[in-house]
Amino acid sequence: MTKKKQETKKRGCGILLHISSLPSAYGIGDFGEDAYRFVDFLAETRQIFWQILPLSPVSSVMSNSPYSSFSAFAGNYLFINPDMLVKEGFISKSDLEGRPAFSNDKVDYNAVSEYKTKVLRLAYQKYKNKIGKDKDFQTFYAKNSHWLDDYSLFVALKEHLNGAMWSDWPKELRDRKKAALDAIKGKLGERIFLEFFLQYLFFRQWTALKSYCNSKNIKIIGDIPIYVSYDSCDVWVNPNIFKLDKQKKPTFVAGVPPDFFSSTGQLWGNPVYRWDTLKKENYAWWIERFDHNLTLYDIIRVDHFRGFVGFWQVPAEEKTAIKGKWVKVAAKDFFSKLLKHFPHMPIIAEDLGIITDDVREVMTQFNIPGMKLLLFAFDDKPAKHPYMPHNHVKNCLVYTGTHDNNTVRGWFEKEARPEDRSRVLRYIGRDVPSHEIGWEFVRIAMMSVADTIVLPLQDVLGLGEEGRMNRPGTTENNWQWRLSPNAINPSVISRLKEATEIYGRC
């Protein structure tokens, strides 16, 4: 068994913090010096993992969600750090003058995009005549052309056609007729090459940061959504593996059925897969996707894992998820094929919510660890709840909460019922002020028998509702939270390091 497989099979601890939340002078966290300082913090406090959210491009059309992207393969150019470009000679320091006074607390995606687009286009203009002699670029292109060519054309076409959805493009472009694509490539060649360059810079800087993490014995846990957005390069290029009609419109979309939390269920709107077609093609698209992501991350957390075993499909014309139905997937065949390509398959299942026996059976057979959330443990029957620490198992990852939940303190102060708060304090065994409740959850997680725990940095810092990253079901004011530049102080470092050592998670 390889070292990569063993990483979540030994006692360890990590921090959840997305790249966008890092401090930076450029309005959004990026791959600059503050990211390296954060890695140093992880190393100093003896953490083993850094978990991040998807690195995919974001768009205001999709509410800047990293889970709704134009591509399952491309990187978000907003994470490219301008100072690093100066150091490497792509631009000069004077090119960065006129930087807006960005907020340190929240990401203003429009302002950041406007500024970084200007800087990056300038870098391209200065470097485009040299790029043909750049061996690093040639190597990058050779390794990534299988997705990069289509993605760069997709981005150029969307821009050329004023942001129109690909299914609304002229028919010959929608249907990817070779003559039409060849003609438009000639017309949009400059924009296509610009996108090559942006992706080159993204992967160049991310690879350097990941290498630095690994040199400090820190592994990256990356996150991939099971579904892709309909308006994406992935669906445009691979319409045959999705349930679409002759006009390339979805016939069925993804969601989850009605439950305790929603009487109408959740209608996500992503096109669902034709698993029969995927099987005939030996799951080539999925294998390519996993292969690509395992160059980005050391371990992959798969969002909505149960969709690999059975998924809720809803007719595309429906307005709610009520009239959907469950469709089975040949999960064991899929994971057996996956295992042949990736013998030590470093995967974590996001198995939150109602999970059926068939999903558990697949996870057990392929030894895939799941997740336990302390924030959900204190319900009406806490003694038997599987998320309670005394019911944990070794092969799982324990979280105080995730990016989709309030912080522990925010939950305790704003959302928990009086009886929930009472159960928490009884479990802890003493009264705890709300500003310390986040740390108490950290301590409880540390004590768990589970091999791995992952702590949102907001809970380590004891932040309240202001530290929340996302509110599912809403499209406003999400994905904006940023770490204050001075929030990680000597007291935080000392406390986290001591707990990590005391509970044997070094």
3-state SS, residue 403: coil
Cα 162 to Cα 170: distance, rounded to the nearest angstrom: 13
DSSP secondary structure string, 114-152?
HHHHHHHHHHHHHHTTTGGG-HHHHHHHHHHHHHHHHHH
Q: What are residue 314's DSSP bridge partners?
A: 253
> What's the farthest any 2 CA atoms get from each other in the chain?
73
Question: What b/e sequence results for 90-114 when a residue is b if at least 16 CB atoms lie within 10 Å of its CB, and e otherwise?
Answer: bbeeebbeeeeebeeeebebeebbe
3-state SS, residue 454: strand
Let me know the angle formed at the C-alpha of 299 by 146 and 241, rounded to the nearest 5 degrees.
40
Q: What are residue 324's DSSP bridge partners?
A: none
The one-letter amino acid code at 469 reads M
Neighbours of 143 (CB within 10 A): 12
Residue entry with tokens 């989850």 = 256
Q: Which long-range contacts (CB under 8 A, 24 or more apart) does 176-184 make?
A: 176/236, 176/237, 181/153, 184/153, 184/157, 184/160
What element of type H or E holds 302? strand 299-303
Q: Which residues are catalytic?
A: 303, 350, 404
The answer to whether the beta carbons of residues 339 and 345 sit under 8 Å apart is yes
Q: Which sign does the torsion angle of CA 396, 402, 404, 410 carry?
A: positive
The one-letter amino acid code at 491 reads S
Which one, of 94, 371, 383, 47, lies nearest residue 216 by Cα?
Answer: 47
CA 217 vs. chain centroid, Å, equals: 21
- Burial of residue 276 (number of CB atoms within 10 Å: 0-12, 13-18, 19+): exposed
Q: Name the pairing type of β-strands 299-303 and 347-349.
A: parallel
Q: Which sign does the torsion angle of CA 249, 271, 229, 258 carry?
A: positive
Of the chain, the end-to-end C-alpha distance in Å amounts to 21
Which one, of 210, 232, 222, lies nearest residue 293 by Cα?
Answer: 222
Provide Rg for the chain, Cα atoms. 23
